[in-house]
């Protein structure tokens, strides 16, 4: 099994590049089918989702658009759905069919806030796709992604856009922290 050392921690390969490609193709196929006849707006949540977004978007056959956002959610205000946009939305979501693209949903805190924000901004529909989902960590059920690449146990992963202290995002496979 291939391993990497990132910032002094050892990570073992968990999902090789070829399997990731299959996972992403499956999600794209479902979205293409479900959104036939529509023109969805994809919102990529930076930084972690950039690689998933890129691979997914290449397989989308719809007349889709893309925009980007970077945010931080705060424990204290999360229940009211407030999120702090480090890079705010540049595109109006009013009356749009929005598909949020995330790297990983853990507790769901970030997406819980963002979904509420998009609804307040007048989106016609809001769905979520996440490359990874940790069902055992979820605390906000409305943040359950409709389009899940892969559900994983509550373990720390990196690679394919996900970082450990900003390192490891460039790895093309997904790795899990060795216990």
Just list the catalytic residues: 106
Cβ at position 33, least distance to ligand 5GP in Å: 26
CA-CA distance, 13 to 157, in Å (whole number)?
A: 9
Would you say 40 or 161 has its CB closer to ligand 5GP? 161
Cβ at position 46, least distance to ligand 5GP in Å: 10
- For 142, list phi and psi in degrees, rounded to 5: -70, -10
Cβ at position 15, least distance to ligand 5GP in Å: 12
CA-CA distance, 175 to 2, in Å (whole number)?
A: 9
Q: Helix 50-58 crosses helix 17-34 at what angle (to 10 degrees)?
A: 60
- For residue 80, with 0-12 CB atoms within 10 Å meaning exposed, 13-18 middle and 19 or more buried, which class applies? exposed
Give the residue from 41, 30, 18 showing the smallest Cα distance to 174: 18
Would you say 28 or 78 has its CB closer to ligand 5GP? 78
Would you say 35 or 110 has its CB closer to ligand 5GP? 110
Please write down the HEC assignment for all residues of 59-96: CCCCCCEEEEEEEEECHHHHCCCCEEEEECCCCCCCCC
Cβ at position 60, least distance to ligand 5GP in Å: 21
CA-CA distance, 97 to 143, in Å (whole number)?
A: 17
Binding site for ligand 5GP (CB under 6 A): 48, 102-110, 156-158, 162-164
Would you say 45 or 93 has its CB closer to ligand 5GP? 45
């Amino acid at each position: 099994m291939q391993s990497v050392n990132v910032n002094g921690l050892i990570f073992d390969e968990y999902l090789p590049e070829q399997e990731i490609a299959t996972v992403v193709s499956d999600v794209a196929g479902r979205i293409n089918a479900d959104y036939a006849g529509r023109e969805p707006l994809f919102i990529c949540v930076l930084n972690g989702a950039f690689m998933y977004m890129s691979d997914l978007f290449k397989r989308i056959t719809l007349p889709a658009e893309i925009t980007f956002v970077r945010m931080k959610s705060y424990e204290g205000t999360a229940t009211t759905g407030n999120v702090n946009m480090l890079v705010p939305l540049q595109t109006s979501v009013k009356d749009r069919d929005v598909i949020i693209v995330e790297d990983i949903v853990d507790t769901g805190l970030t997406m819980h806030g963002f979904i509420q924000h998009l609804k307040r901004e007048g989106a016609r529909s809001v769905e979520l796709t996440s490359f990874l989902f940790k069902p055992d960590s979820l605390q906000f059920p409305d943040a359950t992604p409709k389009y899940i690449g892969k559900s994983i146990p509550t373990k720390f992963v990196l690679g394919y856009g996900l970082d450990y202290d900003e390192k490891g995002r460039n790895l093309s496979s997904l790795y899990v922290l060795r216990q």
